Amino acid sequence: MRPPSTRSYVTTPCPVPERAELAKSRLRFLEFYDPMALANPMPTYPWHLAPAGMATKRQLRKKGLSPGDQPIAAQVVWRHRGPDGAKRRVAYLYRVDLAVPVKPMTPGMWESHNKMMQARRTCRSCGNVKWYCISTQLGECNECADLARGAA
């Protein structure tokens, strides 16, 4: 099993390439390096090379922040090899200094959340509340699904 990455997603800006004879491994980043937004509608950076002070929504959430009403400041673009060939993936970046704290959940919100989770854990066949969420594909708990498979 691979150990979790300790690399931060928000790093220092990518240096501007000096020569066109860069190594082939670095040329792949040139396609997505456009900090001045000359070829793209917004500043664009390659994977792992976004400037400091910018973060994705998930990174902001880990810090207890949310983007608020601020517009998207930049984007990170990378190639992703999916089942139907190479695709481009995009992650939008927001400025950390303009982010606002996440609003805490109220007691009513917690009550609504708990009811929703109980509904997801209740088996439609036997009516028992399980400790895990019921698979939407099966539509019933594992025990009822095993019984149904055994009867068929």
DSSP codes, the chain: -PPPP---SB-PPPPPP--S---HHHHHHHTT-BTT-SSSSS-EEETT-BPTTEE-HHHHHHTTEE-TTPPP-EEEEEEEEETTEEEEEEEEEEEGGG-EEPPPPPHHHHHHHHHHHHHHHB-TTT-PBPSSPPPTTT-S-HHHHHHHHHH-
pLDDT tens-place string over residues 79-128: 877 777 678 889 999 999 999 999 999 999 999 999 999 999 999 999 99
Structural domain includes residue 2: no
Mean pLDDT of the chain: 81
Residues 128 and 111 placed together within one structural domain of the fold: yes
Structural domain includes residue 39: yes
Q: Whole-prediction pTM value?
A: 0.60
Residues 93 and 31 placed together within one structural domain of the fold: yes
Domain that holds residue 97: 24-101
Residues 114 and 97 placed together within one structural domain of the fold: no
pLDDT tens-place string over residues 93-104: 999 999 999 999
Q: How many domains does the chain have?
A: 2
37 band by pLDDT with thresholds 50, 70 and 90: confident
Query: What is residue 134's predicted lDDT score, i.e. its pLDDT?
Result: 93
Structural domain includes residue 15: no
